[in-house]
Amino acid sequence: MALWAVRAAQAQDVPPGVLQFLRRHEEEEAQHLKQFELLLGMNSYGKTVLPRMPSQWRVLAVHLYGYETVGLEFARLLVGLRPDLTSILEDEEVHVGFFEHEVCTILVHGGPVADGARLAAQAWRRRLPPTVNRYLHDESFASVRDELHRHILGEIDARFLAVGLSAGCEGGSPKAES
Ligand SMILES: [Fe+2]
């Protein structure tokens, strides 16, 4: 689900072990994309320019974690309709788990590094609603779009809160929801 972000992230300076995971991860995301294209009978628009990814690991890890959580929610939706595609959901659970662990490793340091990760999470979360809207653009979502939008953002907020990334945790003021 996060193919382009995962591909672009490999150009950044990441901790040992992460690059290896990203390479395998990219293969899985490319496979998922192919399955989606077959399913939907269309080609995704071929991106030639990769998105610009943050160079600081604390920020990059938060972005990848965020995109993976979105991917996981969409995989859940998909498997609700197509239980035969459970392997996609399983892959996404692994991806989310990997970056959740990386984010927790960053947060456990405390201090400015952890604060930087939290700030990155707040900024990423502020930009999330239009992104989710874009993913829900297809007319097949029309009747459930608002509900799904709320649900997906709610799930991501709950995760960010649980891992200590959101302002509602560890002494920050509770974050207002958009
Ligand atoms: Fe993923």
* 149-159 tens-digit pLDDT: 999 999 999 99
How far does the centroid of ligand 1 lie from the alpha carbon of residue 111, in Å?
29
Question: Residue 37 corresponds to which tokens in the numbers above?
Answer: 């294209």
Give Cα separations from 165 to 24, 55, 92, 118, 161 (angstroms). 26, 19, 20, 5, 6
pTM of the complete model: 0.84
Which of 45, 58, 46, 51 shows the shortest CA–CA distance to 11? 51
**Burial letters 67-85, b for 16+ CB under 10 A, else e:** bbbbbbbbbbbbbeeeeeb
How far does the centroid of ligand 1 lie from the alpha carbon of residue 65, in Å?
9
Question: Residue 60 corresponds to which tokens in the numbers above?
Answer: 């990059």
How far does the centroid of ligand 1 lie from the alpha carbon of residue 171, in Å?
31
Q: What is the pLDDT of residue 1?
A: 55
> What HEC string does 27-74 produce?
HHHHHHHHHHHHHHCCCCCCCCCCCCCCCCHHHHHHHHHHHHHHHHHH
How far does the centroid of ligand 1 lie from the alpha carbon of residue 123, in Å?
21
What is the percentage of the chain residues whose pLDDT exceeds 70? 88
Average pLDDT over residues 68-77: 92
How far does the centroid of ligand 1 lie from the alpha carbon of residue 61, in Å?
13
How far does the centroid of ligand 1 lie from the alpha carbon of residue 82, in Å?
18
Residue 32 pLDDT class (50, 70, 90 cuts)? confident
